[in-house]
Structure 1
Amino acid sequence: MRYFWLATPLPMPALPLPTAPATAPPPAPRRGWRRWVLAGLLLGLLGGGAYYLRHQRQLNRYARRTWATLTTRYLTGRESTPLLAGYSVHGIDVSTYQGRIDWPEVARQQVRFAFIKASEGATLRDARFKRNWREARAAGILSGAYHYFQPNRDGGEQARLFIATVPLRPGDLPPVLDVEAPRFHDVAEMRREVRQWLDAVEAHYKVRPILYSNYTFYRHYLAGHFDDYPLWLAHYEVERPALPASRWIIWQHSDEAYVPGIRGTVDFNVFQGSYESLLALRVAPPPAPARPVARPTPAKTARPGSFRKLLNRAAELVQR
């Protein structure tokens, strides 16, 4: 019989289990950017608040005009803004922006005068000028026309466009030059072009034009250079214009008024003086042609013997 030795396995040393390599813990997220964002927001709020406090009136006016534009479709054209107290002569100025205007209805709202946009720059005619010009005068409203001045265009060309567009006649208000666009390169050149327009229009219509501008633009660029022209001043949200009363004749006190007959907002103005004073500004009729002066006829000298003949003739009549 054969015997087999069964060898018992020797115990094997325990091997360590494989483990994942040790890794460094993830870095903690940086939170410094949050502080920068919060600081930026805080600075923006402070800067925006300071800007709003400085330009509060203007920003509020822009907000109201934007709201009025967005809600124009919901207006009925019957909305009304109270007339400014202390003045008896009120007026408006309009352009194609106001759309179709019911001028007879406007005339029933104590609107005594209206300035109508005719042209702009050297090429642009207002699309509704002819209709507004015709219907405003037919409604009995004292009317005038204005030109919006582009400072970087030739003043003579702009004057020729206005003259070709506006058929002023005796009884109309003087022409108006609206100077308020700030986009110009040289202030001295801008003033020369303005003067060229004023001279050309005055020479054509034989009446001194009215100069229109807002208070800020006038104070910085026009004051002291055109004081010999009547001034129409735009100055909003103030109790009275900042210029002396002797310096201006018309005050545009609002650009967001409502007048029945106009759907949407319109500029509101007052004339400083009576209606008779406003009538005195109208374009005068041309002077009548001078009559030829009659020359005195020289006295006839009596011929010799004519007095004796006269006596003889008288004697004959007496004898009869």
Structure 2
Amino acid sequence: MNSMWRGRRRGLLGATVVATTMVLTAGFGGPASADPTTPPAGDQAAIDAYVQKYDHEMGSQIRRHEGTAQMPRDGSPPSLGAEAAVEGIDVSGHQGNVDWPGHWNAGRRFVWVKATEGTGYINPYFPQQYTGSYDQGFIRGAYHFALPDRSSGAAQANYFSDNGGGWSGDGRTLPGALDVEYNPYGASCYGLSPADMTAWIKSFSDTYKARWSKFPAIYTSTNWWNQCVGSSFSTTNPLWVARYASSIGALPFDWSVHTVWQYSSSPLDRNSFNGSYDRLVVFATNHD
């Protein structure tokens, strides 16, 4: 086991296949006074409108608050150093039905699929995205968009786990990821102090670990983390850091290494795993 894993508990995206019936409960967002409703079955226009209204893409608020830097013109990944790296993407309902053979032929080998948000939103495209990527050969998993001011970390970890976010250790399923970033509905830190935010994230992480024997990865940006969590969190989870630039820059407090880097959002979110393909398989196999 290399230095990327030693001395830290780790987990990342995972998932279990959800039923095609979407169950939506109170507790998700839109404005605090409104919860989403299920789009009519088979009504594509209604599904698309539903996604646009309620589905927040990974990094969407980071891009809004921090912007993006100029990437190489040919769209190639930035220099990642001497160690081998594996290319991947992440998707949400905004991508709809994804062309998995096309992404495979472009050299991408892993993907994270948005499963849930809060405790009341399930990605209506999750079955096609999650199962379709697996059938194509991808190592795939799921992520959860956190709304820390709506319900507890434990409640959201369980909702995520029940609706696609589980983990199996089969070498093809990444452990689940917690997407924590700027609040799309209000104050950047959701009205929580760093101590309260730390407690919320720990509750999510510990609940997920208790169910799946794997700690979730944490997806965030350095600026948001340092502002809203700071130094009160122990870096026991693998880091999935967002920075749209030619270099990764400073990591959030006390993380000495990243596991995944989301380095571009154009034309879709692009990620690099910090290691070889064999290490990616180990990451999708080993229990914590």
Same fold (TM > 0.5): yes
- When residues 60 and 205 of structure 1 are mapped into structure 2, their CA distance, relative to the original with a 3 A threshold, is closer
User: Would you say 1:156 and 2:127 are equivalent positions?
Assistant: no
- The structure where helix makes up a greater share of residues is 1
Unaligned runs of 5+ in 2: 1-62, 183-187
Letter in 1 for 2:199: R
1:66-215 correspondence to structure 2 within 5 Å: 81-86=75-80, 88-152=85-149, 153-166=151-164, 167-170=166-169, 171=171, 172-181=173-182, 182-187=188-193, 188-215=195-222
Please name the residue that 2:229 is paired with: 222
Letter in 1 for 2:235: D
Aligned length: 207
- When residues 145 and 226 of structure 1 are mapped into structure 2, their CA distance, relative to the original with a 3 A threshold, is farther
- When residues 146 and 184 of structure 1 are mapped into structure 2, their CA distance, relative to the original with a 3 A threshold, is same
- When residues 95 and 248 of structure 1 are mapped into structure 2, their CA distance, relative to the original with a 3 A threshold, is same
User: SS where residue 265 of structure 2 aligns?
Assistant: strand
TM-score normalised by the chain length of structure 1: 0.59
User: SS where residue 266 of structure 1 aligns?
Assistant: coil
- When residues 189 and 279 of structure 1 are mapped into structure 2, their CA distance, relative to the original with a 3 A threshold, is same
- Between the aligned partners of 1:62 and 1:250, the Cα distance in structure 2 is 18
Please name the residue that 1:269 is paired with: 271
- Between the aligned partners of 1:220 and 1:254, the Cα distance in structure 2 is 22
User: SS where residue 127 of structure 1 aligns?
Assistant: coil
1:241–1:251 contact (8 Å) kept in structure 2: no
Measured after TM superposition, the shift of residue 216 of structure 1 is 0.6
- Between the aligned partners of 1:269 and 1:220, the Cα distance in structure 2 is 24
User: SS where residue 251 of structure 1 aligns?
Assistant: strand
Measured after TM superposition, the shift of residue 165 of structure 1 is 0.7
- Between the aligned partners of 2:229 and 2:69, the Cα distance in structure 1 is 29
- Between the aligned partners of 1:223 and 1:275, the Cα distance in structure 2 is 32
Please, what is the CA RMSD of the aligned residues?
Answer: 2.7
- When residues 202 and 99 of structure 1 are mapped into structure 2, their CA distance, relative to the original with a 3 A threshold, is same
Deviations 1:18-43 (A, max 9, x none): xxxxxxxxxxxxxxxxxxxxxxxxxx
Letter in 1 for 2:241: L
Measured after TM superposition, the shift of residue 58 of structure 1 is 7.2
Measured after TM superposition, the shift of residue 59 of structure 1 is 8.9
1:122–1:161 contact (8 Å) kept in structure 2: yes
User: SS where residue 269 of structure 2 aligns?
Assistant: strand
Larger Rg: 1
- When residues 109 and 125 of structure 1 are mapped into structure 2, their CA distance, relative to the original with a 3 A threshold, is same
Measured after TM superposition, the shift of residue 169 of structure 1 is 2.4
TM-score normalised by the chain length of structure 2: 0.65
Larger displacement relative to structure 2 (95-104 or 132-141): 95-104
User: SS where residue 109 of structure 2 aligns?
Assistant: strand
Measured after TM superposition, the shift of residue 126 of structure 1 is 1.0
Give aligned-pair identity as a percent: 30
Please name the residue that 1:43 is paired with: none
- Between the aligned partners of 1:284 and 1:190, the Cα distance in structure 2 is 28
Q: Higher relative contact order at CA 8 Å, sep ≥6: structure 1 or structure 2?
A: 2
